[in-house]
């Protein structure tokens, strides 16, 4: 059965890709700055954070803006992709009503379009990191590895929340609040090492801590992350995908009736 689903999805791969690209296009359609917004947005946020931490909290750290950016940018992708994917069935319900395409195409392509956006951002940022830390270059394959896992992780959650959201509209609102809280317990502005020993378990429980630590190790510190982080990232990604797809397919037949 899962094979059928996957085959069906594969048949619609063109739509999946096409939709992702077109969504990206639509996102920046009519704006003058266009795709460069994908870069400005994280830079601006990073500058704000850096201002708050260096000027106000007086944090002294070498290349602190890059440190923040390495965590901030993946986080931003995650939040935007997930929150849009969660609401995708409601916002695109006319597609749902009209076409018989595999339903997972919608959240998946949504996440993919955000991912493309994310990658475009990296096109600008990667040279920056390389400039400050040339050791990043040989670790580039690790960057690709973690990015793909990150995509899988986000897509899994996207599937999960998109279908749950149709049945329980609170999910969308709750998610916005959870994201706020989540950002602060995730080592975005700080490194996992700074967390007191007694609270480290938070990082273990928090999938985003793993991904962001991974990104930062690779891009900022130019080092191979711990094995623990590897394991964490892989498990979370697969878990998320399985869980998301499982729940999605379980409830998908009811979808149309509940919109």
Binding positions for another protein, rule: CB under 8 A: 11-12, 14-15, 18-19, 22-23, 25-26, 29-30, 92, 94-95, 97-101, 253, 256-257
CB of 24 to another protein, least distance (A): 11
- Cα–Cα distance measured from residue 45 to residue 13, given in angstroms and rounded to the nearest whole number: 35
Closer residue to another protein (CB): 201 or 254: 254
Closer residue to another protein (CB): 196 or 253: 253
CB of 214 to another protein, least distance (A): 35
The answer to whether 69 and 46 have CB atoms below 8 angstroms apart is: yes
Q: What is the DSSP letter of 55?
A: I
3-state helix, strand, coil in the chain (%, to 5): 85, 0, 15
Closer residue to another protein (CB): 60 or 97: 97
- Cα–Cα distance measured from residue 82 to residue 86, given in angstroms and rounded to the nearest whole number: 6
CB of 86 to another protein, least distance (A): 20
Closer residue to another protein (CB): 12 or 129: 12
CB of 20 to another protein, least distance (A): 11
The answer to whether 185 and 202 have CB atoms below 8 angstroms apart is: yes
Closer residue to another protein (CB): 30 or 198: 30
Closer residue to another protein (CB): 101 or 120: 101
CB of 241 to another protein, least distance (A): 24
CB of 256 to another protein, least distance (A): 6
- Cα–Cα distance measured from residue 59 to residue 53, given in angstroms and rounded to the nearest whole number: 6
**Residue 108, SS3?**
helix
Q: What is the DSSP letter of 32?
A: S
The answer to whether 191 and 114 have CB atoms below 8 angstroms apart is: no
CB of 11 to another protein, least distance (A): 7
Residue 134, exposed/middle/buried by CB under 10 A (0-12, 13-18, 19+)?
exposed
| Phi, psi angles (nearest 5°) of residue 18 | -60, -45
Closer residue to another protein (CB): 15 or 70: 15
The answer to whether 244 and 158 have CB atoms below 8 angstroms apart is: yes
């Amino acid at each position: 059965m899962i094979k059928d689903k996957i085959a069906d999805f594969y048949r619609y791969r063109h739509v999946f890709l096409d939709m992702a690209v077109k969504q990206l296009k639509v996102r920046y359609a009519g704006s003058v700055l266009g795709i460069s917004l994908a870069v400005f947005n994280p830079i601006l946020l990073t500058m704000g954070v850096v201002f708050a931490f260096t000027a106000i909290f007086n944090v002294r750290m070498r290349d602190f803006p890059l440190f923040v950016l390495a965590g901030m940018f993946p986080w931003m992708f995650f939040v935007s992709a997930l929150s849009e994917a969660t609401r995708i069935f409601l916002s695109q319900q006319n597609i749902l009503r009209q076409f018989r395409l595999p339903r997972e195409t919608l959240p998946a392509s949504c996440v993919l379009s955000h991912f493309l956006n994310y990658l475009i951002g990296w096109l600008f940022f990667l040279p920056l990191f390389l400039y400050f830390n040339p050791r990043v270059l040989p670790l580039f394959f690790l960057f690709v590895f973690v990015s793909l896992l990150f995509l899988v992780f986000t897509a899994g959650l996207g599937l999960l929340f998109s279908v749950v959201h149709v049945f329980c509209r609170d999910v969308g609102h709750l998610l916005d609040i959870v994201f706020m809280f989540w950002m602060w317990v995730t080592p975005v502005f700080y490194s996992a090492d700074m967390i007191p020993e007694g609270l480290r378990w938070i990082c273990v429980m928090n999938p985003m801590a793993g991904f962001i630590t991974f990104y930062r190790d690779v891009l900022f510190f130019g080092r191979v992350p711990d094995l623990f982080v590897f394991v964490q990232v892989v498990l979370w990604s697969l878990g998320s995908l399985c869980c998301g797809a499982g729940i999605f397919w379980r409830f998908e037949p009811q979808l149309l009736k509940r919109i």
